[in-house]
A and B are shown apart, each in its own frame.
Chain A
Amino acid sequence: MADESSLDQRRFEVLYLRLEKPVFNVVYRWLWSADDARDVTQEAFMKVWAARARVRPETVEPLVFKSALNLASNRLRVKRVRRFFSLDDAADAVDLRADAVANLSSAQQRLAVRRAIEALPTKLREVVVLCELSGLSTSQIAEALGIPPGTVGSRKHQAMALLEQALGPMVEEVS
């Protein structure tokens, strides 16, 4: 009989199905490329799978996001170096063109959002993106980032203020 606390492949796949979308969306706000975000999402899960013997079940979700953010930051650094040497210009151009064909005003709005999120300091960006897109609780976000839960709240507040400066007041719809 399988150990309830162990991460076997079946449980791992269930975890992947539950977290794939939020992890992808968080990573996308770093890399702004669906292909890169998909690859990093998969790499993050593979890292967790490789370390499964040492992973506690209660920390596995923050760990997936933490791995994904580390991998995304590394990949972004590589992209910036490549862009510095003009190796990645073409890929970025394709992404923007595809958006523009779909809907010009929507593409402009997305570009403005991207610029505003990119302009956030990394510490604020990781908090606000995790708060809005990961589905993790405040304590899980604190665990993933290695900061106190109170800091999560204050950084989120600062990040939202900067985003509203850049994009105008944000309206939260009540369903």
Chain B
Amino acid sequence: MKKREVFEVLEPPPFGLERLRARLSSRRRPVSALVLAGAALGAVVVLMASPGRSGVDLVSLARGSAAAAMVADVQVPEVVGLGQTGALRVPTQNDDVVLYRVASLDSLQ
């Protein structure tokens, strides 16, 4: 038997490169979708965090709560306003340790 008959070289089915290109582009598609989803999520976060959406003044809200606490003879921590976020300094036993409780607009609503 001839060696070339034993190891006969066959032609692969046609359109191999086209199939490969299709697979390469379909592999890329989920990445594009992921980027779009990420961009959409970012846009939602920016819209929710944008100022002027709500007339709520966090600092006065927190100070109102503090006044109520004073009536109840509760030690009131210091309130700091940071835009749409309020921070309460929480007293600790150790002076070297400083703790803040932070609340954003959405968590108060």
Interface residues of A (CB under 8 A from B): 9, 13, 16-17, 20-21, 24-25, 28, 34-35, 37-38, 41-42, 45-46, 49-50, 109-110, 113, 116-117, 129, 132-133, 163, 167-173
Contact = CB atoms under 8 A, between A and B. Distances in A.
A133 B4 CA distance: 10
A171 B12 contact: no
Contact of B20 (A25, A45, A50, A171): A45
A132 B10 contact: no
A25 B17 contact: no
21 contacts: A13-B20, A21-B9, A21-B11, A25-B10, A35-B13, A38-B12, A42-B20, A46-B20, A46-B27, A109-B5, A129-B7, A132-B7, A133-B9, A163-B6, A169-B1, A170-B1, A170-B3, A171-B3, A172-B2, A172-B3, A173-B3
Interface in B1-49: 1-13, 16-17, 19-21, 23-24, 27
Contacts of B1: 109, 113, 167-171
A106 to B, nearest CB: 9
Interface residues of B, number: 21
Choose among A34, A49, A50, A170 the residue with the greatest number of B CB atoms under 10 Å from its CB: A170
A49 B13 CA distance: 21
Interface of B: 1-13, 16-17, 19-21, 23-24, 27
Secondary structure type dominating chain A contacts: helix
A9 B24 contact: yes
Looking at A17, A25, A110, which has the most chain B CB atoms within 10 Å of its CB? A25
Given A21-B11, A132-B6, 8 more contacts: A25-B10, A109-B1, A113-B1, A113-B8, A116-B6, A172-B3, A173-B3, A173-B4
A110 B6 CA distance: 8
A173 B1 CA distance: 11
Contacts of A173: 2-4
Contacts of A13: 17, 20-21
Contacts of A163: 6
A20 B12 contact: yes
